Chains A and B, each alone.
Chain A
Amino acid sequence: QVQLVQSGSEFKKPGASVKVSCKASGYTFTHYAVNWVRQAPGQGLEWMGWINTDTGNPTYAQGFTGRFVFSLDTSVSTAFLQISSLEAGDTAVFFCAREGGQKEIDYWGQGTLVTVSS
């Protein structure tokens, strides 16, 4: 069965970097794009962008350029989200999610809580 398993919670100080992983199983990783979604505490879902797992080409939503980087290691069917120069406002749950054949997000990771605090 399709599964996306994300790395565990992170606690970081402002200015640090974090790298969240998303390991896929149960399907051919390079056939489906991976989306990233942010959810700040008590807030709604915010689409961050996606990465083409065949070409490695990322697309970033407005507001997620510069400090946010999507990457892949296709040898282990894993997508990564790296955030640099962390700020308190980056505190959120980050989800990875597979994009299906009809552009729908059909499977989600369990989410990774990143807490930024001094």
Chain B
Amino acid sequence: DIQMTQSPSTLSASVGDRVNFTCRASQSVGSWLAWFQQKPGKAPKLLIYKASTLKSGVPSRFSGSGSGTEFTLTISSLQPDDFATYYCQQCYSYSRSFGQGTRVEIK
């Protein structure tokens, strides 16, 4: 199975900061990578799919990049609503897998 590793596990940042999270795959997943945001007690929400395609309705401050084994989610200017946990998921293999998540907390 493909293992997904996210870093950092926790990120402390302030409103207005530009933040980046990394997701690494144990083998190439092409561009078959999605990013989700989850807030406590809620279902995850899709932000980005196919590594860099923004889901309709998601603010443009979110962007995704990368291919193969290394991917990045960027929030260009962190907003109060963005404090949450972010997960990547590879959709390449028949057996999908999530990363362990990056929690964004207020600095």
Q: A residues near B, CB below 8 A? A: 35, 37, 44-47, 49-50, 59, 61-62, 95, 97, 100, 102-106, 108-111
Contacts and interface: CB of A to CB of B under 8 A. Distances in A.
A105 B34 contact: yes
Interface size class of B (residues with CB under 8 A): 20 to 34
B96 A44 contact: no
Contacts of B94: 59
23 contacts: A35-B96, A44-B87, A44-B98, A45-B38, A45-B44, A45-B87, A45-B89, A47-B96, A47-B97, A47-B98, A61-B96, A61-B97, A62-B95, A97-B43, A100-B49, A103-B49, A103-B91, A104-B91, A105-B34, A105-B36, A108-B45, A109-B43, A110-B43
B44 A61 contact: no
A60 B1 CA distance: 12
A44 B43 contact: no
Given A46-B98, A59-B94, A62-B95, A108 B34 contact: no
Interface of B: 1, 32, 34, 36, 38, 43-46, 49-50, 53, 55, 85, 87, 89, 91, 94-101
